[in-house]
Amino acid sequence: MASETSAFEIRPMDQFIISPLFSEGELNWYTFTNQSLWMLIALIGIILLFVFGIRKGEVVPGRMQSVAEVIYVFVHKMVSDIAGQEGLKYFPYIFTLFLLILFGNVLGLLPYSFTFTSHIAVTGVLALIVFIFVTILGFVKNGFKFFGLFWISSAPLPLRPILLIIEVISYFVRPISHSIRLAGNMMAGHAVIKVFAGFAGIMGLGAVAPILAIVAVYGLEMLVVVIQAYVFTILTCVYLNDALHPSH
Amino acid sequence: MASSSENSSSVGMPQLDFSNFDNQIFWLVIFLISSFLVIRILVMPRMEETLTNRRKIIEEDIQEAEEFKDRAIEIEKNLNSEIDNAKITANEILRNCKEEIKKNTQDAISEIDIKIEELVKKSEKNVENIKFEAKKEVEILSKKLAPEIVKVFVR
């Protein structure tokens, strides 16, 4: 179904291609790409909402300030609920993670945009930073006791070696599942929309069913996009809590 | 590199094109750091200030309301005690009035009794007088009549 049948050619993955924006040809490590552009737009979005939105700091907030405050308090509460008061020390980074992923995801739903959170390189780095930081923090805070995370003292003794293996494996799988969950969700949703859009393009004016499907999937994606940002953040909090209180 | 990524794109996933990972990671780190700095320096202090400010205002308002409530309770207490006092005073006045009325009535009755007694005495005296007069008159009459009667018998 490659280049011969060009009329029926749907390329759902083309939207994820990274290409240089201002220069042709070679893609160096410093080249400004469409991905970098959308990261920049996400940053601008964050600045617009969270710097200009709360500029006035009113006691009775307006629209922008309300939204910004709701998101801020939401993440703040999430961190303090899951990781406790000590976890609040790391709130700025967790909030940054949440905002960057949320804006990346939501902006990615715009037509012709680029979803940088659909790239495993991006989510992998984000997850690895969390993983490495949390592991180091666990050892620094608890020392040898951090191994208590793998040695389940509440389980019966014969089961503990088996649980140890399972726990160690699951611990090291964390960054992989953490990153692939986000990237996979973003990629799948966008690819599905693109496939239906391709059908619609082929069918022309009579494409009622594909367009309805796009609307439905788009609505679902609106949900998924926010939930995945939430899931990534809440898992970060859970991992952080494991590092701060490994005995639980 | 661009042409190779175009070739790979039509089939596989662009996500697995490792040739541009360095570029992606570089820009991700750049924007991660810049958004972290934006949030740490620009967003959080302002947000915390706004939220604490609001919390403070709400707390102050609640405190003020509490004070007003206390004052209202005190005023109510004062009002109640004043009402109680007024009730006690009213009862006293009422009792005094009753007593006075009783006394007045008693006085009037005893006065009337004295007057009645006086009148009775007076009338008794009158009756006595009348009796005495009548007796006298009878005596006079009998003295006058007795010779007449004797005359009649003698004859």
SS3 A33: strand
Q: Give the mean pLDDT of chain B.
A: 89
Average pLDDT of the residues in B95-102: 95
Q: Please report the DSSP string for B118-140 in residue order.
A: HHHHHHHHHHHHHHHHHHHHHHH
Q: Please report the DSSP string for A148-206 in residue order.
A: GGTS-TTS-GGGHHHHHHHHHHHHHHHHHHHHHHHHHHHHHHHHHHHHHHHHHHHHGGG
- Residue B3 clears pLDDT 80, i.e. is over it: no
Crossing angle of helices A91-108 and A208-244, rounded to 10°: 170
Are the beta carbons of B21 and A121 separated by less than 8 Å? yes
Report how far residue A205's alpha carbon sits from residue A212's, in angstroms, rounded to the nearest whole number: 13
Report how far residue A42's alpha carbon sits from residue A114's, in angstroms, rounded to the nearest whole number: 11
| A vs B: CB pairs below 8 A | 148
The 8-class DSSP code of residue A29 comes to: T
Which residue of chain B is at minimal alpha-carbon distance from A129?
Answer: B29
Report how far residue A200's alpha carbon sits from residue A208's, in angstroms, rounded to the nearest whole number: 8
Q: How far is CA A93 from CA A82, A144, A146, A181, A210, in A?
A: 15, 26, 23, 20, 41
pLDDT band per the 50, 70, 90 thresholds, residue A194:
confident
Give per-residue pLDDT as tens, B63-88: 999 999 999 999 999 999 999 999 99
Question: Is residue A43 within 8 Å of residue B31, measured between CB atoms?
Answer: yes
Report how far residue A159's alpha carbon sits from residue A167's, in angstroms, rounded to the nearest whole number: 12
Chain B residues bordering chain A (beta-carbon distance below 8 Å): 1-2, 5-6, 9-17, 19-32, 34-36, 38-40, 42-44, 46-47, 49-51, 53-54, 57
Nearest CB to A25; choose among B2, B16, B51: B2
Angle at B33 between CA B31 and CA B36, to 5 degrees: 105
Question: Is residue A68 within 8 Å of residue B50, measured between CB atoms?
Answer: no
Average pLDDT of the residues in A69-98: 94
Nearest CB to A121; choose among B10, B25, B38: B25
Structure confidence at residue B11 (pLDDT)? 53
Q: Assess: ipTM above 0.90.
A: no
Structure confidence at residue A179 (pLDDT)? 93
Question: Is residue B71 within 8 Å of residue B63, measured between CB atoms?
Answer: no
Buried b (16+ CB within 10 A) or exposed e, A137-159: bbeeebeeebeebbeeeeeeeee
Report how far residue B90's alpha carbon sits from residue B25's, in angstroms, rounded to the nearest whole number: 92
In chain A, % of residues over pLDDT 70 = 96
The 8-class DSSP code of residue B43 comes to: I
- Residue A4 clears pLDDT 50, i.e. is over it: no
Which residues lie below 8 Å from residue B140, measured CB to CB, with a gap of 6+? Answer: none
* Domain locations in chain A as residue ranges: 33-244
Compute CA A136 distance to the chain's CA centroid, rounded to the nearest angstrom: 22
A219, two tokens: 């609505």
Q: What is the 3-state secondary structure (H, E, C) of A38-77?
A: HHHHHHHHHHHHHHHCCCCCCCCCCHHHHHHHHHHHHHHH
Question: pTM score > 0.80 for this model?
Answer: no
Compute CA B40 distance to the chain's CA centroid, rounded to the nearest angstrom: 58
Residue type, A215: V
Q: Which residue has the tokens 């409530």?
A: B69
